[in-house]
Amino acid sequence: MLTFFAALILLVLGYVVYSKFVERVFVIDDNTTTPAYTKTDNFDFVPMSWWKGNLIQLLNIAGLGPIYGAVAGALYGPVAFVWIVIGCIFAGGVHDYFSGMLSLRHNGAQFPSIVGRYLGKHIKAFINVFSLILMILVAAAFTAGPAQLIAQITPLSFTVALLIIFGYFVLATVLPINQIIGRIYPLLGAILLFMAVAIAVALLFSDKQIPNLTFENLHPADLPVWPLLMVTISCGAISGFHCTQSPIVACTMKKESDGRKIFYGAMVIEGVIALIWAAAGMAFFNGTVGLGEALAAGGPSGVVNEISTSLLGTFGGILAILGVIILPITTGDTALRSSRMILSEIITKVYRIDTKVKVLFVTLLVSVPALYLATIDYTFLWRYVGWTNQVVASVMLWTGTVYLLKHHKFHWICGVPAIFMTGVVCTYIFYAPEGLNLPYSVSNGIGFCLTAIVVLWYVSQIIKYRKLKLEESEAKVA
């Protein structure tokens, strides 16, 4: 119990203290007119208040991620609390802040364009394809689960439920942001937060004991903490999907000082939600063995439903249904919206197409493959969402690092978590079943070597930009 409260306090302190430090490093200017005003189109670029932007960002990035991922990550024991706190404050919050603020600084540019500006055209081409794959996978994975539940509790078939959900996706993707997303997302974001708080309060007043910190790996299957925990719990710690969503809200910001409250703030709220559900998973089933059995029997949705109904009764059951059906859908639709925005940027540079025709055309390009993938096994999809997600996160952190180097600022706030996440994905890809499935020791060795190569590149960039700074100083003196 003490560890849980300490983790909550640290997350709050992370926002109060560290987010302000990150903001000072970035250097904001409220005199700069934002793209919401310079490019107002009443479609993607629409000025909105910071609190509305925060709740929209929260729902865009969260959905069921900090619930399902945290419950699965709880199998490792209280060490999951450590990863959520450290990951959220020093990696996820920084990642989300820079992805949103760099989009703002570059006229609402999408993630691949920002990557191209700082990491080069080859990385941009790679990340264009990679991020689109990630978002299509997310849209598919976050559609299949709700459609299955709708088919179970209503007379509708799975196919009909799937078509209804995708019909909504198309509407949310092609309509102006303030017509659906801007109106209902703040309410749904509040429901997500209320659901977590209600579970936390009920858990604290129950006879369930939240375990205190131990660094012992308690996973029933004895799976290694490194690097699996860092991929299992992404939403709530750090998630590459977030950097594809941040530009959506960046296009609606009224001033630069809102960025800390919107991007870093939403990440910390998501961290709190993940912390609560990780604690609930460990405590409710009396340890990781019981949690493992519950996950094997009913999956994440079954675990969430059992915790909710047992702790909150009928009301909890309603919340669980709302969560399992509505929340993933609201992540899927913005995944397709950001896909549409990325593809629109690409197409605009090649073809001059009427805006309405372009929106419909691009929406169909991303919706059709997502609809097809939603018909296959959900667990198969989710395995590939995990590692693609963290590869994108690593690229975003390196983008922020080079931005800070280029402007001669304190680059370590992005560079250190970038090195860590590079190590995670390099090791994970070689070790995981959906990767090369190599022995653990071999995967660690290869992961370390690849990370070392990237670190050498980082050192070369530090030397490069220090020389440029020195040359600039000498030129000014001359």
Tokens 């700074």 belong to residue: 469
Tokens 């999956």 belong to residue: 299
Q: Which two tokens stand for residue 117?
A: 């500006």
- What are phi and psi for residue 211, nearest 5 degrees? -70, 150
The CA angle 158-324-389, to the nearest 5 degrees, is: 95
Burial class of residue 471 in the structure, from the number of CB atoms within 10 Å of its CB (0-12 exposed, 13-18 middle, 19+ buried): exposed
Q: Is the dihedral of CA 418, 420, 423, 429 positive or negative?
A: negative
**pLDDT-derived band at 121, boundaries 50, 70, 90:** confident
As assigned by CATH, the class of the 2-385 domain is mainly alpha
Report d(CA 137, CA 332) in Å as an integer: 9
Task: For the chain, give every domain's residue range.
Answer: 2-385
Residue range 239-263: average pLDDT? Answer: 94
Q: Which two tokens stand for residue 149?
A: 């539940």
What is the per-residue pLDDT across 179-233, written as a single tens digit (0 to 9) for each?
Answer: 777 778 777 777 777 888 888 888 888 888 888 888 889 999 999 999 999 999 9
Query: Is 1:212 a contact under the CB 8 Å cutoff?
Result: yes
Tokens 């000082």 belong to residue: 257
Query: Is 260:19 a contact under the CB 8 Å cutoff?
Result: yes
Tokens 């629109």 belong to residue: 344
Q: Tell me, what's the pLDDT at 75?
A: 95
The CA angle 76-220-74, to the nearest 5 degrees, is: 25
- What are phi and psi for residue 297, nearest 5 degrees? -80, -45
Burial class of residue 80 in the structure, from the number of CB atoms within 10 Å of its CB (0-12 exposed, 13-18 middle, 19+ buried): buried
Mean pLDDT of the chain: 87
**pLDDT-derived band at 379, boundaries 50, 70, 90:** low
Cis peptide before 227 (omega within 30 of 0): yes
- What are the residues whose beta carbons fall under 8 Å from the beta carbon of 434, sequence distance 6 or more? 383, 384, 386, 387
The CA angle 418-395-87, to the nearest 5 degrees, is: 40
Residue range 419-433: average pLDDT? Answer: 95
The amino acid sitting at 475 is A
CA distances from 53 to 83, 109, 247, 255 (A): 27, 17, 11, 12
Q: Report the chain's C-alpha Rg in angstroms.
A: 22
The CA angle 112-113-118, to the nearest 5 degrees, is: 95
65-74, 181-190, 352-361, 369-378, range with the lowest pLDDT: 352-361
Q: Tell me, what's the pLDDT at 326?
A: 75
- The CB density around residue 201, as the number of other CB atoms within 10 Å, is 13
Residue range 122-146: average pLDDT? Answer: 80
Tokens 């994975």 belong to residue: 141
Query: Is 242:96 a contact under the CB 8 Å cutoff?
Result: yes
Q: Tell me, what's the pLDDT at 354?
A: 46
3-7, 149-153, 213-217, 419-423, range with the lowest pLDDT: 149-153
Q: Tell me, what's the pLDDT at 328?
A: 77
168-182, 301-315, 350-364, 370-384, range with the lowest pLDDT: 350-364
What is the per-residue pLDDT across 50-60, written as a single tens digit (0 to 9) for each?
Answer: 999 998 898 88
Quote the strand ranges of 82-162, DSSP E: none
- What are the residues whose beta carbons fall under 8 Å from the beta carbon of 87, sequence distance 6 or more? 230, 233, 236, 237, 238, 271
Q: How far is CA 127 from the centre of its chain?
A: 16
Report d(CA 61, CA 331) in Å as an integer: 7
Report long-range pairs for 178-181 (Cβ below 8 Å, ≥24 apart).
178/42, 178/46, 178/48, 181/56, 181/333, 181/334, 181/337
Task: Tell which residue, 18, 12, 49, 47, has the closest CA to residue 33.
Answer: 47
pTM of the model as a whole: 0.91
Share of the chain above pLDDT 70, in %: 93
**pLDDT-derived band at 448, boundaries 50, 70, 90:** very high
